[in-house]
Chain A
Amino acid sequence: MSFDVRLRVNDRVATIELKGELDASTAALFHQTVDKASKAGSIELVIKAEELTYMASAGLRSLVFARQKMGDEVRIAIVGASEPVARTIRMAGFDHSIDLIDA
């Protein structure tokens, strides 16, 4: 399964770019990247999801991890999630603590 994750940190904004399919077999990679991002001292975490074609509950697990690791004052935003990915995030009620932008 094809999945790719990239992390960029600048101006205290950490940006994680997700590409492909995020499921139980690929979520570890996202998890590790969230962990790295949380150590960068950023005030905002932006998750770019325009090219994320699929997300299972394993991806939600990593988002909870992100919320726990980043601390209360850090804003987390998911940008450009497709309709079904955004639906999964809303079904789980995560949109109360994570901003869905352009979804």
Chain B
Amino acid sequence: MAFDFGAVSAASASPAARRERPSRCVRLVPDPPPDTLRIPATIESLDEVAAFVLELGAEAGLPETALYRLRLAADELATNIVMHGYQDRTGEISVAGGIEEDRVWVRFEDDAEAFDPRQGMRPPALDVPLEEREIGGLGVYLAFTAVDSFDYELVSGRNVSTLVMNLPATG
């Protein structure tokens, strides 16, 4: 897979720029850029998300543990969109990724009902015996704690979640 990050990286350089992204995207990149994966919102598609993120992270030179965590976060977020976003409805998820000087990012967009995944996040109830635990919300908690940043925006009615993993400083 070839990655071409120029246009998307520039658009995501700052929060303000990121908000402008949809219109800039239309002007700069008329066709889906090659670094965007579009998949049906099904559990069977999770493999493709994993492969996409692992390839991106490896290309960025993420250390093994950070790569595992980015994949875990992406996997949990995609699972959440399928199970709780679209539920039984059919839909599409688009996954974009980019490598910048000091970080790797993965962005998920979907047209399910507006929902900030962080709202559904529930830290584990450590004082409750395991057999009595409700573990809904644990996946998003794992995703949130695995990456360096986890942002959510509602952009033109679409859910947009961005995961960022910082790259180790190079001497």
Contact residues in A for B124 (Cβ distance below 8 Å): 91-93
Q: Does B101 contact A (CB under 8 A)?
A: no
Q: Does B43 contact A (CB under 8 A)?
A: yes
* C-alpha gap A83/B67 in the complex (Å): 13
Report the minimum CB–CB distance from B110 to chain A (whole Å).
16
> Are B126 and A96 touching (Cβ within 8 A)?
yes
Contact of A97 among B47, B83, B129 (CB under 8 A): B129
> Are A57 and B138 touching (Cβ within 8 A)?
yes
Q: How large is the interface on A (under 10, 10 to 19, 20 to 34, 35 or more residues)?
A: 20 to 34
Contact of A25 among B43, B71, B130 (CB under 8 A): B43
With contacts A57-B142, A84-B69 taken as known, whether A64 is within 8 angstroms of B44 at the C-beta atoms is: no
Q: Is the interface of B mostly helix, strand, loop or mixed?
A: helix
Which residue of B has the minimal Cβ distance to A57? B139
Q: Which residues, 58 to 98 on A, are CB-close (under 8 Å) to B?
A: 58, 60-61, 63-64, 67-68, 72, 83-84, 88, 91-94, 96-98
Contact residues in B for A56 (Cβ distance below 8 Å): 72, 75-76, 79, 139, 142
Contact residues in A for B82 (Cβ distance below 8 Å): 24
With contacts A60-B135, A83-B65 taken as known, whether A93 is within 8 angstroms of B126 at the C-beta atoms is: yes
Q: Which residues, 23 to 64 on B, are CB-close (under 8 Å) to A?
A: 43-44, 46-47, 50
Residue in A1, A21, A56, A57 with the greatest tally of chain B CB atoms within 10 Å: A57
Q: Does A23 contact B (CB under 8 A)?
A: yes
Q: List 28 A-B contacts (CB under 8 A).
A: A1-B46, A1-B50, A21-B50, A23-B46, A23-B75, A24-B82, A25-B46, A54-B68, A54-B72, A56-B75, A56-B139, A56-B142, A57-B135, A57-B139, A57-B142, A58-B79, A64-B130, A64-B131, A64-B135, A83-B65, A84-B65, A88-B72, A91-B124, A91-B142, A92-B138, A92-B142, A93-B124, A98-B130
List the interface of chain A (C-beta within 8 A of B).
1, 21, 23-25, 54, 56-58, 60-61, 63-64, 67-68, 72, 83-84, 88, 91-94, 96-98
Give 3 closest A-B pairs by Cβ, nearest first: A57-B139, A97-B130, A93-B126
